[in-house]
Amino acid sequence: MREVVWPVGGSYARVRGDLPRSELIAVAAATGVVSGRPEVASPPGLSVTATGTSRPPYIHEARYSSAETGESDELSGGLTFTGVARCGGLEDQLYATRVQTAGTVNGKPAVITSAFGGNGALAWEPAPGVVAYIGYSGAQLDDGAVAALRRLAARTRLLSPEQWQATSPATSDQTNDFG
């Protein structure tokens, strides 16, 4: 993992990622401050896929008993959770913590992490700027638990905002902080 920190707009900014250092420096050079907010122009060969805050205003998350998922043998009788958020902050959080590659979910690269709490979570980017994850609390994070998360992730699909609202989700107002 690489990181570049540089002065911009009277403060400091940081960009983290798995790009070569020269490309991270190009992102830094393409970053300015407009009306007090950072703005990134696309460096040659790269594109800006999403703009907005680093912390999403909403995280859509569903929670289940692991027994309801059919994976209680590997995940124990604890909690299974799945979520999706649009933001760079969750991706940055993954770059800032220990992750392990975990194959793909619907053709997209996935990682295993403990960045979202619980014993572990499988995370992937189903669309540019969108992070999806499925995790659990209960059993130790081992190969069997990772396999169970991969099976569950293979059954997931993104919902439109209308489809999400149609589930009549319970909401919980909380501080959205990376901890």
Report pLDDT digits (tens) over 98-140: 788 899 999 999 999 988 778 899 999 898 878 899 999 988 8
Domain ranges of the chain: 2-40, 60-166
One-letter amino acid identity for 164? W
Where in 47-107 does DSSP place strands (E)?
60-65, 79-86, 99-105
Q: What is the pLDDT of residue 179?
A: 47
